[in-house]
Amino acid sequence: MTDIATSKTHAAKFSNGMHYLHDPALNKGTAFTEEEREALNLRGLLPPGIQTLEEQVMRVMGNYNRKTSDLEKYIFLVALQDRNQTLFYRVVMDHLETMMPIIYTPTVGLACQEYAHIFRRPRGVFIAAKNKGRFSDILRNWPDRDVRIIVVTDGERILGLGDLGVAGMGIPSGKLSLYTACAGIHPAGCLPVTIDVGTNNVDMLHDPLYFGMRHPRIRGEAYDEIIDEFVLAVQENFPNALIQFEDFGNTNAFRLLNKYRDRVCTFNDDIQGTASMSLAGLYSALRITGKTLAAQKILFLGAGEAGTGIADLIVTAMIHDEGLSLTDARRRCWFADSKGLVVKSREKLASHKLPYAHDHEYHPYFMDVVRALKPTAIIGVSGQPGTFTGPVLSAMAEYNERPIVFALSNPTSRSECTAKEAYVWTKGRAVFASGSPFEPVTLDGKTFVPGQGNNAYIFPGVGLGVISCGAKRVTNDMFLAAAKTLAAEVSEADLNRGSIYPPLKRVREVSWKIAVAVAEIVFDQGLAAIPRPDDLPEFIQSKMYEPVYPVYA
């Protein structure tokens, strides 16, 4: 990453000191020193008092805590990011557990729903279908040329909220903020992109403030041509960039991943990142139950990209770790979708469901599926709230001494059950994790601190490892290594309080260790663009951005 230029270069470029105050990458606000104010023509443009970064953080937090709603806090933080990039990341990193639910899930979901109404300034690049043929020119408009990570969405499946069209831009922006906060990837190397191919959301189309393309979603060959042109434009403009596909609908997510994964450096976080995070949670849960991965019978509620992605990585782990055959490993994973149990006798199953369509009596209702299969673990990725009902949870506790219950759908309003419901209905025996955060639960004198199965434990570290050594491709082995690394960071103290993930405050350290593990695979598989460093952990550490102010004079 190119370092910020010297004060002389800046002085030559900007004769007016106001430019320093209006560029979030350069702005230091009241932290500009006397020497800088003189050299950069800032004298009189700021109050005379000079403050440290720590004092500025104190002021920000005071204002933040006066906000009365999470959406207002989100708007406040986005405005700070647009004004002073260094201060924004310092605040987020110093208060990560507080900020994570605001800058990302669950609040980012509400922010996307209200995107057109709370819009202040554009962030990222908007690729509109009407500009087909000019995508490369559009990407050239982005001011930072050393882009290393692009998070792109077409807005069709935003969290569990569905099609939000161009309003889905909050997701790539939020993800990239986490890349920086959690793994130290320099903000200048991050580019959020939304591809606007229309929306089927009638409310959006009828909203006078919606500023996306007002027509139904483009499908078929025309859609594929748009994605092809975008990927080619990225290769032309940012040849060192990792492309992360985010929140694409099931119709396209698997297909695009399979199409591009062996051609460019890319992955799909909803499929592969979620899978790695979930597998790490299972590894931790098995330390509590005392069972092996091969001994599990796992039932998924929801058979989309997240669920089948998780199952695929679990199958890989069963084969690699415990020597199962592909058939035997898949037989340990079962799916229920909106129509009931996925079995071979059902007609017109989507291709990604077929490997998990087993010979079994069909059951249309999830409760009946649970009774028939008696699973050791249920994993919710359905986006259907309240589907892990009291009877379902009670049945899980009847069949298992320590039932594993993962309610992973986001945002909180879409969770299959709450932490309290999971603990109450299983009499405190559930090994629970959720996609969105829940407060600790006290039951019969014991306090449980539920772990949040947050992809932020995985994708920042994977991305850091990939770009640090210039990986040509992203492989499933990297996500398997990330899962094992994350699980190894869960302490006995974490498990004793009911958490199967480490505290979020440790996520930067965890991301560094995941990046090292991923980089090892990159070098071992011959995918690196650089020679292997003598001290790989130190090398990765040296690539991690720290939000401190530069010295201009």
**Virtual CA dihedral for 388, 168, 349, 336, nearest 10 degrees?**
-10
The answer to whether 353 is a known catalytic residue is no
DSSP 134: -
Number of other residues whose CB lies within 10 A of the CB of residue 250: 18
Q: How far are the Cα atoms of 25, 61, 83, 84, 352 from residue 66, in angstroms, in the given order?
A: 26, 9, 19, 20, 48
Residues ≥6 apart with Cβ < 8 Å to 427: 397, 443
Catalytic residue chosen out of the listed positions 175, 179, 501, 545: 175
CB-CB contact of 197 with 129 (8 Å)? yes
Whole-number Å distance between alpha carbons of 185 and 149: 9
- Count of helices and strands (H, E) across the chain: 25, 14
Distance, CA of 348 to chain centre: 31
- The Cα 340–Cα 369 span in angstroms is 8
Helical axes 476-488 vs 459-468, angle rounded to 10°: 120
How far apart CA 68 and CA 438 sit, in angstroms, is 19
Q: What's the order of all strands across the beta sheet hosting 242-245?
A: 125-128, 190-196, 149-153, 242-245, 266-268
Output DSSP code: residue 351. G
Which region, left, alpha or beta, applies to residue 44 given φ > 0 means left and ψ of -120 to 50 means alpha? left
Q: Is residue 175 annotated as a catalytic residue, yes or no? A: yes
Peptide bond into 106 cis (omega under 30): yes
The catalytic residue among 20, 74, 104, 115 is 104
CB atoms within 10 A of CB 244: 28
Structure tokens at 73: 């806090």
Cα–Cα dist 29/181, whole Å:
21
User: Catalytic residue numbers?
Assistant: 104, 175
